[in-house]
Amino acid sequence: MNKDKAEKSMINKWAENFRKFEAGLNGESKSEFHKSRQNAFKIFSKLGFPSIKNEEWKYTNLAKFHKHEFVHASEIEEVKYKKEDIEKYLFKGFDHHLLVFVNGKYSEKLSCVGETENNVFIGSLCDLLKEKPELLDNVYKGENNTSAITALNNAFTQDGAAIIVPDNKVIEKPVQVLYLNGTQNEKVHITPYNLIIAGKNSGVKILTSYNSTFENVYFTNAVTNINADENAHVDYYKIQNENENAFHVHQVNIEQQKSSNVSSYSLSFGSQLARNEIIATLNDEDIDCNLFGLYLGKDNQHIDNHTMIDHANPNCRSNELYKGILDDNAHGVFSGKVLVRQDAQKTDAYQSNKTILLSDTASIDTKPQLEIFADDVKCSHGATIGHLDEEAMFYLKTRGIPTELANSMLIRGFVDDVVQTIKIEELKDQINHIIFDHLHKIEI
């Protein structure tokens, strides 16, 4: 088979999946919502999956992904969980609202949303659209999509987390969103579409985590849209802890209005291949945008972090800090673009990417890109790749600290500045635990 033919047959497989998906929708297939799905699928078919010839996918090869035939989550039998089954996947120690999604579909039974004030919505996208169909316009505009995999999500969108905070409301308790992915036997295609809308002067903290109770391969194909209106304050945490065979591709679109403050924490642990993409658009003045990231890789994991911050207006600040530890044959990618457009005077943009390689066969491709078209700006960026500091190691050992423990101390020291930025105090130790657990190192 030549390349074009292979490509065609691949698209055909997904088209077949899409037909089955449509057939299962019954009446809904005539809705407005579904028209945008169909439109999205067209875009997907036209674009096709990105290859490594695509500059944005240069270091992330999907060949292994294409070897699998996936079945959409709507086609498979529901995986049943009891409350006690999910307990260990939750972050604890603080009051929270809880939304649980099983293979992308909302589980009312497992979720637990505390009392909220009028007009606050914390629930599933399905329920939201039933209540407020006019919000559909906010959901997505398929035609603006330039990423095939995002278009694929849009084509198969069924459900996802929806959090709507009206003007002048601050939701005190964090909203915890748990995604339980995968099944025993099927290779499931999971398409959560999450919507977070924070009104003027509002505030909300969202803590999402992607997990699996199975070992089988699956494909998480997620999209999250965050809109922060004037002076809104949004903290968005994502803990990607999929199983070791999973493919995880997630695009987060952040739209910020005047004086808003959004902090994103992308903590990536699981998956055989993960692509965490964030696009932040700063639509007005006096905006703060903070992107923090940690990525921990081992075995043959491939972890790709792609970020883009678009400074289109004056007097905004962006701060980006991504740190990673890669062991064994793990491969990392960091591509961080900061665009400062001509009008964006007095921009303050800081970016840093640091990676520690724990083995000789781990590697990272790091590509910071600062594109500045304004003249009165303060921008800096830096990328470092290294090993654990040998002199620091010697220092610790001369104090009687055994090698393994010294390793852990240096690892903890390395991730410390990212962990310390986490604003939910109780979360810090739990993240620390995942770090050491994932790397199979002594926890300290």
Partner 1 sequence: MLKIKDLRASIEEKQILKGINLEIKKGEVHAIMGPNGSGKSTLSNILAGHEAYEVTGGTVEFEGKDLLELEADERAREGIFLAFQYPVEIPGVNNATFLRTSLNEIRKHNGEPELSGKEFLDLIKVKMVEIGLPENLIQRSVNQGFSGGEKKRNEIFQMSVLNPKLALLDETDSGLDIDALKIVADGVNKFKNDDNAVLLVTHYQRLLNYIVPDFVHVLYQGKIIKTGGKELAYELEEKGYDWIINDFKEVESV
* CB contact set of 348 (below 8 Å; sequence gap of 6+): 316, 317, 318, 377, 378, 379
Q: Which residues pair with 220 in a beta bridge?
A: 190, 248
Residue 395 C-beta: closest distance to partner 1, Å: 4
Residue 385 C-beta: closest distance to partner 1, Å: 17
DSSP strand pairing (97-102 vs 105-106):
antiparallel
Q: Which of residues 202-231 bind partner 1 (CB under 8 A)?
A: none
Distance CA 364, CA 235 (A): 28
Residue 436 C-beta: closest distance to partner 1, Å: 15
Residue 390 C-beta: closest distance to partner 1, Å: 8
Of the candidates 325, 352, 344, 357, the one whose C-alpha atom is nearest the C-alpha of residue 432 is 325
Q: How many helices (H) and strands (E) would you count in the chain? A: 10, 21
For partner 1, the closer CB: 99 or 411: 411
Residue 401 C-beta: closest distance to partner 1, Å: 6
For partner 1, the closer CB: 397 or 423: 397
CA 438 from centre of chain: 18
For partner 1, the closer CB: 129 or 396: 396
What does the block give as tokens for 437? Answer: 């657990």
For partner 1, the closer CB: 373 or 395: 395
The number of residues making up the chain comes to 444
| Per-residue CA distances from 365 to 72, 279, 330 (Å) | 32, 20, 11
Residue 416 C-beta: closest distance to partner 1, Å: 3
Contact region with partner 1 (CB under 8 A), list: 56-64, 259-267, 326-334, 412-420: 412-420
The residue from 370, 412, 430, 436 that contacts partner 1 (CB under 8 A) is: 412
Distance CA 260, CA 171 (A): 16
Distance CA 5, CA 43 (A): 19
Residue 413 C-beta: closest distance to partner 1, Å: 3
* CB contact set of 429 (below 8 Å; sequence gap of 6+): none
Residues 413-432, mask of contacts with partner 1 (x by CB under 8 A): xxxxx---------------
Residue 90 C-beta: closest distance to partner 1, Å: 28
For partner 1, the closer CB: 268 or 432: 432
Determine the longest span between alpha carbons in the chain, in angstroms.
72
DSSP state, 388? -
Distance CA 86, CA 227 (A): 29
* CB contact set of 147 (below 8 Å; sequence gap of 6+): 47, 50, 251, 277
The four Cα atoms 32, 164, 132, 83 give a dihedral, to 10 degrees, of: 90
DSSP strand pairing (121-124 vs 188-190):
unpaired
Q: Phi and psi (nearest 5°) for 442?
A: -60, 130
For partner 1, the closer CB: 105 or 354: 354
For partner 1, the closer CB: 91 or 414: 414
Q: Which of residues 369-408 bind partner 1 (CB under 8 A)?
A: 389-392, 394-403, 405-406
The residue from 410, 421, 428, 436 that contacts partner 1 (CB under 8 A) is: 410
For partner 1, the closer CB: 383 or 405: 405
Residue 158 C-beta: closest distance to partner 1, Å: 43
For partner 1, the closer CB: 2 or 398: 398
Residue 391 C-beta: closest distance to partner 1, Å: 5
Please count the residues of this chain forming the interface with partner 1, following the rule CB under 8 A: 25
Residue 162 CB: number of other CB atoms within 10 A? 26
The residue from 377, 379, 409, 442 that contacts partner 1 (CB under 8 A) is: 409
Q: Which of residues 91-150 bind partner 1 (CB under 8 A)?
A: none
For partner 1, the closer CB: 34 or 412: 412
Residues within the interface to partner 1 (CB under 8 A): 389-392, 394-403, 405-406, 409-410, 412-417, 444
